[in-house]
Amino acid sequence: MIEIKNLHAKIEGKEILKGLNLKVNAGEVHAIMGPNGAGKSTLASILAGREEYEITEGEVTFEGSDLLELSTEERAHLGLFLAFQYPVEIPGVSNVNFLRTAINEIRDAKGEDPISAKDFMAMVREKSKIVELDSSLASRSVNEGFSGGEKKRNEIFQMAMLNPKLAVLDETDSGLDIDALRIVAKGVNTLKSANNATIVITHYQRLLDYIVPDFVHVLYDGRIVKTGNKELALKLEEKGYDWIKEETQVG
């Protein structure tokens, strides 16, 4: 699905990613953990094509294409989805209108006809149920005046609507209450299939109780320094990152 090789990236002259490698296959769930400022959101932003970052080395292949050559929207057309750590508010633009535009642009890129209003509304009803999103939120402006938790749920709702191949969830669990966490996880699990994959960026092992990862990676100082299974997350929860930092320094 996606393969990242030796990725180096800079922002404002500062090197953030320093040779990152990661491979994700269809059907897999990967968790990325790591201390604040390690570069997790940077990785997500680079995958989605944010232009502020300068890529100095490395390559990324996504579904057979050279991802780094594509524009942000072309990546989205190929099925890459980023659930933002800080979802953006767009005043005056209704969620529904926003999503219909997105879906139609993606369909258009694939040479498909626009979705009919009827099918679209049916889809909105169906998918908003998955994340138990209040239907009034669908007609409100994108994220405007949404609570922190509502914004996160809205991200998963959009993911359900766009049905991506690869979803990168950047701390989608932060700011969620226990129920919302369960709902979001349920959403992710419902959408999971043998044809798609998910990368979950999180600080808390708790989320991984709900979304069970196939792999857990530790991102530290711009690199994946450790990879394991669910047990690794438990160990991190218990011991923190110091032992990893030490190990890395020694290595």
Ligand X SMILES: Nc1ncnc2c1ncn2[C@@H]1O[C@H](COP(=O)(O)OP(=O)(O)OP(=O)(O)O)[C@@H](O)[C@H]1O
Residue 141 as a binder of other proteins (CB under 8 A): the answer is: yes
Taking CB atoms, the residue at the shortest distance from Mg ion is 41
Residue with tokens 């005056």: 92
Q: How far is the CB of 205 from Mg ion (least distance, A)?
A: 17
What residues from 3 to 22 belong to the interface with ligand X (CB under 6 A)?
A: 11-12, 14, 16
Site string for other proteins, 46-85 (x = CB under 8 A): --xxx--------------------xxx-xxx---xx-x-
Residue 187 as a binder of other proteins (CB under 8 A): the answer is: no
Taking the least distance from each CB to Mg ion, the nearer of 145 and 240 is 240
User: Do 19 and 10 contact (CB within 8 A), yes or no?
Assistant: no
What b-and-e string marks burial along 66-76, b requiring 16 or more CB atoms within 10 Å of the CB? ebbebeeeebb
Q: Find, among 96, 7, 104, 118, the residue nearest to 53 by Cα.
A: 7
C-alpha to C-alpha distance for 96 and 137, rounded to whole angstroms: 9
From candidates 9, 106, 211, 219, binder to other proteins by CB under 8 A: 106
Taking the least distance from each CB to ligand X, the nearer of 47 and 183 is 47
C-alpha to C-alpha distance for 243 and 42, rounded to whole angstroms: 24
Which two three-digit tokens encode residue 75? 């990546």
Residue 38 as a binder of ligand X (CB under 6 A): the answer is: yes
For ligand X, the binding residues (CB under 6 A) are 11-12, 14, 16, 34, 36-42, 52
